Amino acid sequence: MTDPDHATLQPARPVRPRRSVLYVPASNERALDKAADLPCDTVIFDLEDGVGPTEKPAAREALARWFAAAGTRAKEYVVRINALSSEWGANDADAALGWRPDALLVPKIEDAGDIGRAEALLTGRGAPTDMRLWAMIETPRAVANCMDIAETGRRAT
């Protein structure tokens, strides 16, 4: 017998197993130089907490140079932008869309509406349809809303 509640938990697309995911601050040129050779499945280039406020424009420029020189992608690349509600979020998203990472990691997601706004931003700016959206669940409110967050949107991973 099939459990109808269990059926709603099945992923809409295949799950990509990942053994390891490593963060690289986009402001650290030495770390960027090593990113392609890191022994991991996914590299998250951090423009948020790993980069100080005064370093954010330079970090975006460094990451733009890295992606321009990256060539063949042997692993998954994700860019963690600043919260879309912050003064840096929209600029991060615009820059990252030009680099064509596999996904954008959006911090401080609180509810399904935040996912909807992030997806609308990606669609409105012409992001490829296969670009994924990762949501950071960081607060008790987000944990309480995590099922709605997880079930919202077609890009959310």
Identify each DSSP E strand in the chain by its residue range: 21-25, 42-46, 76-80, 103-109, 132-137
CATH of the domain at 89: 3.20.20.60
Q: What is the pLDDT of residues 137-151, one digit of tens each?
A: 999 999 999 999 988
Question: Residue 56: helix, strand or coil by DSSP?
Answer: helix
Please indicate, yes or no, if residue 8 is contained in any of the structural domains: no
| Rounded-to-integer distance, Cα 17 and Cα 147, Å | 20
The torsion angle over the Cα atoms of residues 36, 39, 41 and 45, rounded to 10 degrees, is: -50
Q: Report the number of distinct structural domains present in the chain.
A: 1
3-state DSSP call for residue 80? strand
In a domain, 55, yes or no: yes
Q: Which of 21-25, 59-63, 151-155 has the lowest mean pLDDT?
A: 151-155
**Cα radius of gyration rounded to whole Å, the chain:** 16
Q: Which domain holds residue 67?
A: 20-151
DSSP annotation of 35: G
Q: What is the pLDDT of residue 1?
A: 41
pTM assigned to the model = 0.86
Contact yes or no for 27/52 (Cβ under 8 A): yes
Q: 66 by DSSP, 3-state: which?
A: helix
pLDDT tens sequence across 56-105: 999 999 999 999 998 777 789 999 999 999 999 999 999 999 999 999 99
